[in-house]
Structure 1
Amino acid sequence: MKKILLSLLMGWGCISSAQTIALQTYVTGLNSAVEITHCGDNRLFVVQQGGLIRIIQNNALLTTPFLNISSLTTSSGEQGLLGLAFHPNYATNGQFFINYTNLSGDTVIARYTVSSTNPNVANPTGTVLLTIDQPYNNHNGGTLKFGPDGYLYIGMGDGGSGGDPQNFAQNMTVNLANPSRVFLGKMLRLDVNTTSGSLNYGYPPTNPYINESGKKEIWALGLRNPWKFSFNRLNGDLWIADVGQDVMEEINRVQAPLPNTGLNFGWKCFEGTSVFSTCTNTSGMIAPFAEYSHAATGGCSITGGYVYTGTLYPNMLNKYYFADLCQNRMGILNIATGAITYTPYFNGNNFFTSFGEDVNGELYITGGSSLFRITDTSMGSQNFAALGLSVAPNPSHGMVVLNNPKQYAIQALTLLDVSGKIIQTIQPEQSTLQSIDISNLSPGLYFLQLEKDGIRYTEKIIRE
């Protein structure tokens, strides 16, 4: 028992009486991890900046990479293999899309496919959709995601240097010498299920600049460096964390259904809500949903995350989780109030580069070489206790008893492992006591989840 509890305490080394968010080490052995995602099953895919996509399967990091494009990319500074998005119909068409910096320093969006013989290996050759000229080696954006409308969204930084010296984020004039630079500082939206002329993609007919040559891909403008953005998988809301200059970091929210009106997020006229540069026309520019200053927090570069939509941790619902590259802690944005709070500083020297979610909506975060699972250490007994329920003995060698003194009607009773995988579905007994056999489980942490009147409650169980 001491060995098991010691392992759990090491995984929960950041527990504080003020906060309940904790990190559990999920896998190690990564190298410059910058993206975490899934393809619709229980595997996790991790993008390494140097050009590899790795797979985590059954809680283990596979040795053979899913894809290796290290010969196609340069990974210095903010460049490299930066983004990965699986097609919504990946299970049938095997398509996925990547965002990387090529050997010339330009952004490339490319489509690849999975091997027909091995689901853990991709075909090595892809098809380029877009190449975007980059004037500098920073502010490349990097994230690409499929939205609820089925279109591919691509976040582009302003091209780099500092202060957007060529005003790319607000520029809507196509320069024939470098026509792709009009995409800098923009959010692009492509239809990857169609083609237009000689292009390997099509234009969504509702794109706001669909009738303007050279700009049909643009969906929104006024971004500085949207390093990470995400969609709420349940309601389709878009959350963009836009990295600031010297003063403010901002979080933008676009509620679904997503508009088609050419949104302008304000950079470089504004950095957050602070005026950065005098602009003659700022009408219609969108103020951030939330922001924080470098001076007040010690932050320097926001790492955008996700709104929690999982089922294991009810206390985490209706909150957006993010981090800052200069701080070894996590920010929590309350969606209802707009207020930001912070976890205590975590143990170790982690500087978080990316969040991700699995197929069940549970959240993960990486500091480059390790992948952590985000947990809520308060979600156990207090949630069951609210109903007058308890589980004992806990820890247990093999048999636990659910005590239901009020004989609540329970619609569902489920046992899950730490990855959210359902191990057993238990037929609820409408009685005071219900025995649950966990003797066949390996020693470790599990979750017992029940449903009453449409609400889920969860309890931690330790198998000795």
Structure 2
Amino acid sequence: MKTKLYLILMLYHAFTFAQNITLQTVATGFSNPVAIENAGDPRLFVVEQGGTIKIINADGSVAATPFLNLASLISSDGERGLLGLAFHPNYSTNGYFFVNYTNPAGNTVIARYTVSAGNTNVANPSSAQVLLTITQPFSNHNGGTLRFGPDGYLYIGMGDGGSGGDPGNRAQNIETLLGKMLRIDVNSGTPYAIPPTNPFAGATAGADEIWAIGLRNPWKFSFNRTTGDLWIADVGQGAVEEINKVSPTAAGLNYGWNCYEGSSIYTAGCAQPTTTYTFPFAEYTHTATGGCSITGGYVYTGTTYPLLANKYIFADYCSNKIGLVSPDGTIAYTPAFGGNNFSTFGEDATGELYIAGISSGTVYKITDSTLSNAEYTTENISLYPNPAEGEVFLTTHNLDMPINLVVSDLNGKQVAQEQLLTNNSRIDTSLLSKGVYILTLESAIGTRSTHKLVIQ
């Protein structure tokens, strides 16, 4: 028996590529999610600012018992809290992971923990080893992200100490760890060692842990899994948000804060003619985008959505827009995904990307509604969202009308047929059962194409 597809034809503006990004709900009910990490297996670990780390299992369920609860050790008001998590590259054998939090005095603590010997879903709360404590003069601009680089060292993003405008000029002061990217060797020394290629290692001046200076608040940074490039999203003061892209071997860079906000002068007369500053690979202004605070993400290295390949994906906390940076540094934006206040991205073990917001408490998977297939560009056909629930939109460009649409199941059985009279159609799929279908489109001059449609 055929199922009737009720077609509601409507006109709408053509979307840019960035606007084909859709969000698929993975899990809900999180309180102030600030990080999403993986341990090299199908699980996702969600860090809540209040002090807990929760596990999303491969089937989308959330483990009833938190992986770790540090609520009694932290201060979590404003920008403080449990802010970062990084699993050791050899986590599967040594069970080590590292956290970044602010203690009751408001100071940054970097500590190592170990997973429980008998349960891989629960950490050992008694295994803490504090590696580093950094005094914070104000409550904001704490950074928070931890990442292991391709060199095996642990990188730590530190904000400038807070307030506004960096009143202590800490970001340019090489004697303090604030406003810096730090790099330490957690596999040697007690409690860690200094990598010998750190720019101030063994020197009279400069803190040994420093890798780069001149950062305001690198809330999120990441490494490209394919190239190793380091991407730093540095939150701006009041006008410019910046994205930095550098080689993972580039030591001692100066990103300019507080002499510069992005590529614009912030403090007149601050820049020194003998100093080389590293300017953003991409940037945007608050006035042009409605943004206020960048949330850095990742370069897409997965295989499910090839049209996203080599694009850096980020968001803004205020605008709720997702941005995509092309290899030439240009930025395209999605419409706003309201009610989220995006606070973090995540990457799973296969390179697929996730995003979460403070306000929604929801973890989403980032998907590309063009069916993960370049045929929609070459054949002038767009079908989205896909997977779909109650509706899909079909756009055809420069094809002769009318078009005959046939929907078949994977056994070849035809379940629906309609004639499309316009290039822009909304298709009600609410009467289709969950599963995979094949859409066949035949134009007035006999051109045929087939496309996969997933109903969830």
TM range (shorter): 0.7 to 0.9
Q: Is the 8 A contact 2:370 2:376 kept in 1?
A: no
2:188 matched residue in structure 1: 194
Shift of 1:400: 6.0
SS in 2 for 1:328: coil
Letter in 2 for 1:183: L
Deviations 1:40-73 (A, max 9, x none): 0110011000000010002111111000000001
1:210 matched residue in structure 2: 201
- 1:307 corresponds, among 296, 299, 302, to 299
2:411 matched residue in structure 1: 399
Question: Quick check: which has more Rg, 1 or 2?
Answer: 2
Q: Does 1:328 align with 2:330?
A: no
Deviations 1:300-342 (A, max 9, x none): 111001111110111111211111111121111112x211111
Q: Is the 8 A contact 1:239 1:251 kept in 2?
A: yes
1:51 matched residue in structure 2: 51
Distance 2:408 2:166 in 1: 57
Q: Does 1:22 align with 2:34?
A: no
Shift of 1:74: 1.0
Q: Which runs of 5+ in 2 are unaligned?
A: 6-12, 380-404, 414-432, 439-449
Distance 1:194 1:34 in 2: 29
Cα 1:134–1:385 change in 2 (3 A) is: closer
SS in 2 for 1:91: helix
Q: Is the 8 A contact 1:381 1:460 kept in 2?
A: no
Cα 1:385–1:291 change in 2 (3 A) is: closer
| Equivalent residues in 2 for 1:389-428, closer than 5 Å | 396=409, 399=411
Q: Is the 8 A contact 2:407 2:437 kept in 1?
A: no
2:230 matched residue in structure 1: 238
1:145 matched residue in structure 2: 147
1:225 matched residue in structure 2: 217
Identity across matched positions, percent: 59
Deviations 1:126-153 (A, max 9, x none): 1000000000000000001000000000
1:433 matched residue in structure 2: none
Q: Does 1:123 align with 2:124?
A: yes
2:331 matched residue in structure 1: 340
Deviations 1:343-387 (A, max 9, x none): 0122x4111000111111011000131001110001356538969
SS in 1 for 2:320: strand
Letter in 1 for 2:254: N
Letter in 2 for 1:365: I
Distance 1:270 1:303 in 2: 20
2:429 matched residue in structure 1: none
Distance 2:297 2:22 in 1: 16
How many residues are treated as equivalent by the alignment? Answer: 385
Shift of 1:393: 8.2
- 2:254 corresponds, among 246, 264, 267, to 264
Cα 1:127–1:276 change in 2 (3 A) is: same
Deviations 1:427-447 (A, max 9, x none): xxxxxxxxxxxxxxx945799
Q: Does 1:275 align with 2:269?
A: no
- 1:363 corresponds, among 340, 348, 353, to 353
Deviations 1:140-196 (A, max 9, x none): 0000100000000000000000000000000123xxxxxxxx00001000100001x
Letter in 1 for 2:335: P
Letter in 2 for 1:113: T
SS in 2 for 1:153: strand
Cα 1:130–1:460 change in 2 (3 A) is: farther
SS in 2 for 1:296: helix
Letter in 1 for 2:35: E
Shift of 1:259: 2.0
Letter in 1 for 2:138: Y
Shift of 1:211: 1.1
Q: Is the 8 A contact 1:325 1:351 kept in 2?
A: yes
1:412 matched residue in structure 2: none
Q: Which runs of 5+ in 1 are unaligned?
A: 6-14, 174-181, 402-441, 448-457
- Report the TM-score when normalising by structure 1: 0.78
Higher relative contact order (CA 8 A, sep 6+): 2
1:451 matched residue in structure 2: none
1:352 matched residue in structure 2: 342
Cα 1:446–1:103 change in 2 (3 A) is: farther
Q: Give the alignment's Cα RMSD to 1 decimal.
A: 2.7
Cα 1:341–1:121 change in 2 (3 A) is: same
SS in 1 for 2:30: coil
Deviations 1:77-111 (A, max 9, x none): 00000000000000100000000000000000000
Deviations 1:197-220 (A, max 9, x none): xx3111111111111367111110
Letter in 1 for 2:362: S
Distance 1:102 1:446 in 2: 53
Distance 1:446 1:51 in 2: 44
SS in 2 for 1:268: coil
Q: Is the 8 A contact 2:307 2:372 kept in 1?
A: no
Distance 1:242 1:296 in 2: 18
Shift of 1:16: 7.2
Distance 1:222 1:240 in 2: 12
Q: Is the 8 A contact 1:315 1:379 kept in 2?
A: no
Distance 2:14 2:115 in 1: 43
Cα 1:323–1:170 change in 2 (3 A) is: same
Cα 1:52–1:100 change in 2 (3 A) is: same
- Report the TM-score when normalising by structure 2: 0.79
Distance 2:324 2:152 in 1: 28
Distance 1:384 1:323 in 2: 25
Letter in 2 for 1:209: F
Distance 1:28 1:326 in 2: 21
Cα 1:385–1:134 change in 2 (3 A) is: closer
Distance 1:445 1:345 in 2: 29
1:42 matched residue in structure 2: 42
